[in-house]
Structure 1
Amino acid sequence: MSFPSFGPSTTAEEVAAVFCDVIRGKNVLVTGTSLNSLGFETARAIAQYANLVVITGYNAERLRLSEAAIKSEFPSANVRRLNLDLSSLAAVRRASKEVNGYPEPVHVLIHNAAATIGHFKRTVDGLESQIATDLIGPFLFTKLIAAKIRAAKSATYTPRVVALTSIFHEYAQGIDLADMEHPDPAKYEPFKAYNQAKSADILFMIELSRRSCGAIRGYSVSPGVALTNIQLKPESLDIFIASEIITPDLKPNRIKLSWKTIPESAATTLVAAFDPRLDDKPGAYLDDCNVADIAGPNILDADLPGRLWSTIENIIGESF
């Protein structure tokens, strides 16, 4: 069967329509699904076709609003809420226990949630907030529900895990594994931490695919730049304005960056989650709805994915 080509202006809804037959019958879990987010748009586009969409977040009221918005558009959609705070290892363990109690397997896990690019902040576990929320929490969550994911495998289908990264991973000057374990506020720079976390997400998907030996396929996705609620959080506004990413009147700075709409930004996630043409490309990195080269030599060390994996295992205190 042939499918159309996609590009930077493709929307999530367009991708979902093309792969509607692939999505049907699938159970999909999407993290970070507050209104005005890429995760919400991802869940919304999937919900009209999927058997089940699990939406997650750490704020129960925002989760309720997201569910209501999806159900108002697609009344027959099967939407389930899951409270999940990826910045807390204990909260991740609680949420994973709930998922493991579901009667259904998980065909697709989409790691969309991320911490805002803010000032240095420690989590309850003493980790730096961005690396904890963007990488370590998702790693532990994936590990703890891996049996649910593997249960979706059949003779004709292999489950997928998708992690959102960023085109800005190319600016990461390596990944400081020692600082990941023992964060030093004096070394912290907001965008440096972001770039490292997003680089690590790419390596996580590469190593997950390798270690799964065909049981799970991992993909990393650069969604592009879109104005969402994460840039408009009070604790990060000064950073985004000072970096000229958004203007003082809270508008996208279109002189400095090329911006996408939220539906356009969510499209690549759906390609990674459902496009059968990726079946023979586990571990691939996608940008603008297509497989792309990882930019920047700093994360291409062949040993780095394995060392990153071991470092995270040390942090969470258990092996995957």
Structure 2
Amino acid sequence: MSFPTFTISTTAEEVATAFAKEIQGKNVLITGTSMNGLGFENARVIARHANLVIITGYNTERLKLSEEAIKKEVPSANIRPLTLDLSSLAAVRKAAAEVNAYPEPIHVVIHNAAATIGPFKATVDGFESQMATAHLGPFLFTKLIAPKILAAGTASYTPRVVFVSSSAHRMGPAIDLESIGKPNSTTYTAFLGYFHAKAAQILTAIELSKRSQGKINAYSLSPGAVSTNINQKEESKADMIAAGILTPEGLPSSKFHWKTIPEGAATTMIAAFDPRLAATPGVYLQDAVVANDQVAPHASDLDTAAKLWTITETVVGETFSF
């Protein structure tokens, strides 16, 4: 079967249409699905074809708005909201227990949620919020619902876990592994926290694919520069303006190629459903194509990936086995 060639301007809907048969019958869980965001766009286009779309978020009211918006557009959509606060290990455990009580297996998990890029903020567990939301919470959640993910595997299908990272991971230094469990607020900057969290996601995709030995295919990706709800938050504006990402007026800077939300969500769709990726678990995608050459050495080093995995297991108090 031949599939279209995707480009930087391909939309999530175009990818969903191309892979409609791959999405049919699948149960997909997406984190971070507030409206005006990438996760919501993924949920919206997947809902037209999938058996079940589980949308998650820490704000129950926003989750309800997302559910209503999708059902209004796709009345036949099977949407199941799940309250999930990735910044709290206890909340992650509670949500995972709920998922494990579902009758269905989970074919695809898309880790799209992220914390606001802003001043240092400690979580209830004492971790740095960006690292907790993008790495520690998703790691624990994936570990706890692994039986549901593994149950989706068949002789002809390998379940997938997708991490929405960023090309900006290249702009920072290697992760200080000691800071994963013991963050240093004095050396923290908003973007250093972001760079490290995004590098951790790429490393986790590599190591998850390796350790699962063909039982789970994990991928990471950069959606590109997209103006979404998260980078429009007031607490992140000052850092965004200082970095030249936003203009002094708070508008997207012309220094970057900005994608629309549908364009930004396209690469996630490819990572989640493109059957051509089945043979290359652990790869990184950017602008709708595989782009391993765009990963910084510190985010692709196999030794670092293994060390991060072991340290994360210790921090969250769970050993991941398959």
TM-score band, normalised by the shorter chain?
Answer: over 0.9
Alpha-carbon offset, residue 238 of structure 1 = 1.4
Query: Using the alignment, how far apart are the partners of 2:147 and 2:319 within structure 1?
Result: 14
Q: What does 1:261-300 correspond to in 2, within 5 Å?
A: 261-293=260-292, 294-300=294-300
Residues 176-203 of structure 1 show CA distances to partners (whole Å, capped at 9, x for unaligned) of: 0111111111110111111111111001
Residues 132-180 of structure 1 show CA distances to partners (whole Å, capped at 9, x for unaligned) of: 0000000000000000000000111110000011011112211101111
Aligned partner of 1:175 in structure 2 is 175
Q: Which amino acid aligns with 1:63?
A: L
Residues 275-304 of structure 1 show CA distances to partners (whole Å, capped at 9, x for unaligned) of: 000010000100011100243222333311
> Percent same amino acid among aligned pairs?
60
Aligned partner of 1:239 in structure 2 is 239
* Matching of residue 49 in structure 1 with residue 49 in structure 2: yes
Alpha-carbon offset, residue 247 of structure 1 = 2.1
Aligned partner of 1:131 in structure 2 is 131
Aligned partner of 2:142 in structure 1 is 142
Q: Does the Cα contact within 8 Å between 2:150 and 2:216 map onto a contact in 1?
A: yes
Query: Using the alignment, how far apart are the partners of 2:31 and 2:197 within structure 1?
Result: 16
Query: Using the alignment, how far apart are the partners of 1:133 and 1:222 within structure 2?
Result: 17
Alpha-carbon offset, residue 248 of structure 1 = 3.2
Aligned partner of 1:81 in structure 2 is 81
Q: Does the Cα contact within 8 Å between 2:44 and 2:70 map onto a contact in 1?
A: yes
Alpha-carbon offset, residue 249 of structure 1 = 2.9
Q: Does the Cα contact within 8 Å between 1:172 and 1:298 map onto a contact in 2?
A: no
Query: Using the alignment, how far apart are the partners of 1:217 and 1:172 within structure 2?
Result: 27
Structure 1 gaps of 5+ residues are: none
Structure 2 gaps of 5+ residues are: none
Q: Does the Cα contact within 8 Å between 1:38 and 1:265 map onto a contact in 2?
A: yes
Query: Using the alignment, how far apart are the partners of 2:213 and 2:38 within structure 1?
Result: 30
Query: Using the alignment, how far apart are the partners of 2:64 and 2:299 within structure 1?
Result: 39
Query: Using the alignment, how far apart are the partners of 1:190 and 1:163 within structure 2?
Result: 20
* Matching of residue 223 in structure 1 with residue 223 in structure 2: yes
Q: Does the Cα contact within 8 Å between 2:19 and 2:274 map onto a contact in 1?
A: yes
Give the SS at the match of 2:95.
Answer: helix
Name whichever of 200-209 and 243-252 sits farther off: 243-252
Aligned partner of 2:35 in structure 1 is 35
Alpha-carbon offset, residue 262 of structure 1 = 0.3
Query: Using the alignment, how far apart are the partners of 1:106 and 1:182 within structure 2?
Result: 33
Aligned partner of 1:185 in structure 2 is 185
Query: Using the alignment, how far apart are the partners of 2:189 and 2:48 within structure 1?
Result: 41
TM-score, structure 2 normalization: 0.98
Q: Cα RMSD (Å) of the superposition?
A: 0.9
Q: Which amino acid aligns with 1:165?
A: S
Q: Which amino acid aligns with 1:18?
A: A
Alpha-carbon offset, residue 244 of structure 1 = 2.0
Aligned partner of 1:259 in structure 2 is 258
TM-score, structure 1 normalization: 0.98
Aligned partner of 2:70 in structure 1 is 70
Give the SS at the match of 2:250.
Answer: coil
Q: Which runs of 4+ in 1 moved over 4 A?
A: none
Give the SS at the match of 1:29.
Answer: strand
Give the SS at the match of 2:135.
Answer: helix
Query: Using the alignment, how far apart are the partners of 1:120 and 1:292 within structure 2?
Result: 31
